[in-house]
Amino acid sequence: MPAMFGKILSAFRGKPALIKGAGRLEEGQSKRVELGDTLAGGVAVILCRVDGDLLALDDRCPHDDGRIIGGPLVDGKFAVCPLHNYQFDPKNGAAKNNACKKARTYKVRETGGDAEIWI
C-alpha cells in the first residue's frame, strides 16, 4: 500500500465510509461498490438487500481469489462468485453448499437513504 494512501486510510479507521443513495437498492439485489482505490489498498464490497436489511460482503471470494458479483441474488438471498458458482449468505458470509471459508462481512448502517459502512 503506498505510504500516502495508508496515512489517509489510517485517519479514517473506526469511522464509516459514506455510500450515497445505497438505500435505493431493491430487495433481492446486490451492487458492487469501491471504497477507495482498490489498486492502492481500497476495498470493493458487494452491497446486498436481504429481508429488508442492507448488508455488505467483501467482493473477494475466499476460495480461489474470484470475485463475488453484483446483480440479482440467488433465491433473493445469496451472493455468488461465478468462478465456481459458490454462493454466500450476506448476513454472515457463510458459504452455501460448499466447503469454502466464510466471505468477509462489514458492518452497515442505513441513514437517510445513504449507508455508512465500516471497513
**Which residue range is the domain that position 26 belongs to?**
3-8+21-118
What is the average pLDDT value for the chain, to the nearest integer? 88
The pTM (predicted TM-score) of the whole model is 0.83
**What's 83's domain CATH number?**
2.102.10.10
Which has the minimum average pLDDT: 39-43, 52-56, 76-80, 83-87? 39-43
Instruction: Indicate the number of domains in the chain.
Output: 1
Q: Give 9-71 as a DSSP string.
A: HHHTTTSPEEETTGGGPPTTEEEEEEES-GGGT-EEEEEEEETTEEEEEESB-TTTS-B-EEE
The pLDDT > 70 percentage for the chain reads: 89
- Give the C-alpha separation, 75 to 113, whole Å: 25
pLDDT band with cut points at 50, 70 and 90 for residue 1? very low
Tell me whether residue 15 is in a domain. no
Tell me whether residue 14 is in a domain. no
Tell me whether residue 40 is in a domain. yes
Tell me whether residue 16 is in a domain. no
pLDDT score at 6 = 53
Tell me whether residue 101 is in a domain. yes
